[in-house]
Amino acid sequence: MKYVKSFRSTTTVYLAMFLLLIACNPPSKFKSENVVVGSGQMPAAVTDSSGNLHLVFGHGDSILYANAQPDGDRISTPILVSIVPELAASHMRGPQIAATRKGIAIIACDNNGNIFSFHKTDKGQWQQGARVNDADTVAKEGLLAISGDGDNLFAVWLDLRDKHNKIFGSQSSDNGLTWSKNLLIYASPDSTVCECCKPSVIVKKNKVIVMFRNWLSGNRDMYITESDDGGKTFAAPAKLGTESWAVDGCPMDGGSMAVINDKLHTVWYRKGKIFSYMPGKTERELAEGKGCAMTVVHNRPAYAWTEKGSIIVDGEDGKINIAKGKAPVLTGFGPGHLTCIWENDKTIMAKIFPYRID
């Protein structure tokens, strides 16, 4: 009799634990297969504070947007945000997206070098905001990034004012309706930063972190610079990694970064290989490849890159070859999911992975 009571008690405990696990990490309605989002190029994605997925990409002169909710079962049909004549949407250039407490914002560049902003209204409509660059046609490389947290949006880009590419930035506290006076973040003493590598930016509360590929003494290495006052001023940049890469040509690969437990993690490309790196630590070689991206799911890093024409995701279950393609982006999604979005033959693809909650 005591054995039966003990068995029932143990069973009750395990059942409660099982139900708690299911409540914390409910089964996904999304199928694990690769799905077609729509025709287009150069995707970018972000997850908001409620776990909703938002993605943007270019199709000709059109900026297209789609989303997904954690309790849904599909990514929505893409809708038109705006038409930007001569939209830059190829070769690592494309619309960028960010989330703040005030909503979703998008920036996009045209081939003339002007950066336009758009934000989603409370009614779900897209509205154009102010132009980001305050000098005409200075972002001709079309390489830019945006991030948001709280009320703060911050955009960075390669800027050609005074003839040489520099890192410039601008801040918005009204979800892209207006933008601050453009700020010179960094100018290389060797005349230019790397001309064809996309910068990255992360906003965490009042901290703004910018990563870019520099060009010093013939070396095209990755650097970071940080601001502790919301992007008003930036510290002197610091080099990432233990080696330097002297190369006569542009790698066209700017890397990616994320913050885990207030510590910066980066991933980038050098000499045909992908490295992950935390400032002050030893760099770690992940694979041969390029076009890398990273994100955080439950305080754990996940990586993606292109290797021999295929998209590789390195996450909870190790390295997985998911499809042919290029330009992968990663983001978390809902409770315990990882989303990879990429381009293949001018088609935007996506795959949602379950991710265990410890």
Report pLDDT digits (tens) over 294-334.
Answer: 999 888 899 999 999 999 999 877 899 999 999 999 998 88
What integer is the mean pLDDT of 55-67? 98
The answer to whether the CB of 348 falls within 8 A of the CB of 40 is: yes
Residues found in the chain: 358
Three-state DSSP class for 9? helix
Please give the span between the terminal C-alpha atoms of the chain, in angstroms, as a whole number.
Answer: 36
Phi, psi of 70 (to 5 degrees): -55, -30
For residue 185, is pLDDT > 80? yes
pLDDT given at position 85: 98
267 confidence band (pLDDT: 50, 70, 90): very high
For residue 224, is pLDDT > 80? yes
335 vs 47, 52, 355, CA distance in Å?
Answer: 11, 10, 8
Contacts of the segment 44-48: beta carbons below 8 A, 24+ positions apart: 44/94, 44/95, 44/96, 44/97, 44/329, 45/97, 45/329, 45/330, 45/331, 45/339, 45/341, 46/97, 46/98, 46/99, 46/104, 46/331, 47/99, 47/331, 47/332, 47/333, 47/339, 48/99, 48/104
pLDDT given at position 324: 97
pTM above 0.75, yes or no: yes
pLDDT given at position 220: 96
Q: Which amino acid is at 301?
A: P
Comparing 117 with 248, the larger pLDDT belongs to 117
- CATH level 3 topology of 37-354: Neuraminidase (2.120.10)
> Structure tokens of 282?
């030893």
Phi, psi of 6 (to 5 degrees): -65, -40
- What are the respective helix, strand and coil percentages of the chain, to the nearest 5? 5, 50, 45
Range of weakest confidence among 8-12, 73-77, 192-196, 293-297: 8-12
- The CA distance from 306 to 252, in Å, is 13
* Tens of pLDDT, residues 107-125: 999 999 999 999 998 888 9
- Where are the extended beta strands (E) located within 130-278? 144-149, 152-159, 166-172, 183-186, 200-204, 207-213, 222-227, 238-239, 256-260, 263-270, 273-277
For residue 129, is pLDDT > 80? yes
pLDDT given at position 70: 86
pLDDT given at position 333: 86
5 confidence band (pLDDT: 50, 70, 90): very low
pLDDT given at position 356: 65
Comparing 353 with 105, the larger pLDDT belongs to 105
What is the percent of the chain where pLDDT is above 70?
Answer: 91
- The CA distance from 216 to 189, in Å, is 8
pLDDT given at position 353: 84
What integer is the mean pLDDT of 240-255? 91
256 confidence band (pLDDT: 50, 70, 90): very high
pLDDT given at position 17: 36
pLDDT given at position 33: 84
Sign of CA dihedral 141, 147, 148, 152: negative
Average pLDDT of every residue of the chain: 90
For residue 168, is pLDDT > 90? yes
